[in-house]
């Protein structure tokens, strides 16, 4: 990888305290009742309530936010990993340099990680994931059940997929434009450089090469080196 820890550390110097402003208009903060309902609705779609898997493709790979008892790699067809969730002006971006987050967009295929939640603790861990991924409503990337192919056969799992009708759906950017965004955006939880580095590095550890992300890490490193 051309993108490295020195690049991450350099961007970390730009991180400021997290903005505690309310959710972006017209969204609203999810309530305790919302989280209970999200959890109920997800588990209601499980084929086997004692075998609940979640498919991770981005930050959940390197920061799962839930307990798990088994991990596998798998291929999800019909969806691809893309920086299409925008524009983030709080957690990993600012009003001056908004960030773009990964989500699953329609078409293609995506290799990622499957986590099996602990038996008997499914509800608690699904709720943790909802709190992490669905803090605002309506969610721009709501959960859905998908079938992921693994070496051991198909696995039914839930994941978070982009809603193309959401006003937070970003499309039409070429790789150079995405790299420009990722090389500059910094928010209260860190930089997009850190987000990209961690995602690519953990995918590599699992033996997963995403050619799109690999090109992006090269391009982002090139931009950072040019401004050092």
Positions marked catalytic? 133
Residues in the chain, how many? Answer: 228
Is 170 within 8 Å of 100 (Cβ atoms)?
yes
What's the start-to-end Cα distance of the chain, in Å?
Answer: 18
Residues 6+ apart with CB under 8 A from 216: 83, 175, 178, 179, 182, 196
The token pair at 222 is: 């090139």
């Amino acid at each position: 990888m051309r993108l490295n820890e020195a690049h991450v550390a350099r961007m970390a110097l730009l991180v400021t305290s997290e903005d505690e402003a309310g959710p972006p208009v017209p969204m609203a903060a999810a309530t305790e009742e919302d989280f209970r309902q999200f959890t109920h609705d997800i588990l209601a779609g499980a084929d086997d309530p004692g075998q609940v898997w979640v498919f991770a493709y981005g930050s959940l790979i390197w920061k799962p936010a839930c307990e798990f008892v088994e991990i596998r790699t798998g291929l999800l067809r019909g969806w691809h990993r893309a920086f299409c969730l925008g524009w983030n002006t709080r957690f990993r971006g600012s009003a001056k340099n908004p960030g773009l987050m990964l989500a699953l967009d329609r078409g293609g295929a995506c290799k990622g990680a499957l986590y099996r939640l602990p038996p008997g603790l499914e509800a608690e861990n699904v709720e943790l994931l909802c709190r992490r991924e669905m803090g605002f409503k309506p969610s721009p990337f709501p959960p859905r059940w998908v079938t992921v192919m693994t070496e051991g056969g198909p696995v039914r799992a839930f994941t978070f997929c982009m809603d193309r009708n959401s006003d937070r759906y970003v499309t039409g950017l070429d790789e150079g434009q995405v790299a420009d965004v990722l090389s500059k955006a910094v928010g209260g939880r860190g930089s997009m450089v850190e987000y990209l580095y961690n995602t690519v590095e953990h995918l590599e550890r699992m033996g997963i090469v995403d050619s799109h992300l690999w090109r992006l890490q090269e391009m982002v490193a090139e931009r950072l080196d040019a401004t050092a």
